[in-house]
Amino acid sequence: MSDDCIFCSIVDGEIPARTVYETDEVLAFLDANPLARGHTLVIPKTHAERVGDLDADAASALFDAVSDLTSRVQDAVDADAANVGINDGEAAGQEVPHVHAHVVPRFEGDGGAPIHAVAGKRPDLSDDELDGIAEEVAAAIDV
Ligand code: AMP
Ligand code: ZN
């Protein structure tokens, strides 16, 4: 629990939410300002601001729930597909500093865009630059 965290307050029942799923580790509820019918947020019950702050148990519980819920949410609102995404950090558009996965149902012809539309202008990278980036990322992961 973090003071002043709106999603911790929802977990604690201090703020109401339209809960659709709950386990010991995870809570899912409808987004209050939905991008589509059925737009659902899935959160770990323990406070963590960024994806990298989740411990292994919370991370797997969160992804298990997302995996389990996505098709069910989609079916419940008769959607054709869904986008699943996390805004991880302020520069990526994260407004609530408690990790949450968005499950956004999508409908044929809804006028929306794929997740590729979230970033800015695409960089124009040479093969050498891509090789260098792959090395840097691999080295950062291999700690
Ligand atoms: P993000 O920009 O990824 O941090 O998204 C935060 C999301 O939380 C937005 O889609 C908001 O509509 C949603 N939201 C904020 N407050 C509440 C709330 N009290 N209940 C449900 N959804 C909320
Ligand atoms: Zn919180």
126 CB near ligand 1 (under 6 Å) = no
d(CA 10, CA 19): 9
Enumerate residues 6+ apart whose C-beta is below 8 A from 24. 45
Q: Is the pLDDT of residue 143 over 80?
A: no
What are the tens digits of pLDDT across the range 126-136? Answer: 999 999 999 99
15 CB near ligand 1 (under 6 Å) = yes
Torsion of CA 72, 45, 3, 5, to 10 degrees: -20
The residue assigned the tokens 């899935």 is: 42
In a domain, 40, yes or no: yes
What are the tens digits of pLDDT across the range 45-99? Answer: 999 999 999 999 999 999 999 999 999 999 999 999 999 999 999 999 999 999 9
CATH number for 120: 3.30.428.10
Residue 35 CA to chain centroid, in angstroms? 14
**pLDDT score at 3:** 75
91 CB near ligand 1 (under 6 Å) = no
100 is catalytic: yes
Enumerate residues 6+ apart whose C-beta is below 8 A from 57. 25
**pLDDT score at 142:** 82
Q: How many domains does one find in the chain?
A: 1
In a domain, 31, yes or no: yes
Residue whose CA is at the smallest distance from ligand 1 atom 16: 32
- The pLDDT mean for the chain works out to 96
What are the tens digits of pLDDT across the range 8-30? Answer: 999 999 999 999 999 999 999 99
CA distances from 47 to 11, 86, 87, 100 (A): 10, 15, 16, 10
Residues with CB under 5 A from ligand 2 (ion): 2, 5, 7-8, 47, 98
Domain, as residue range, for 35: 6-141
* Ligand 1 atom closest to 100 (CA): 3
In a domain, 1, yes or no: no
Q: Say what the pTM is.
A: 0.96
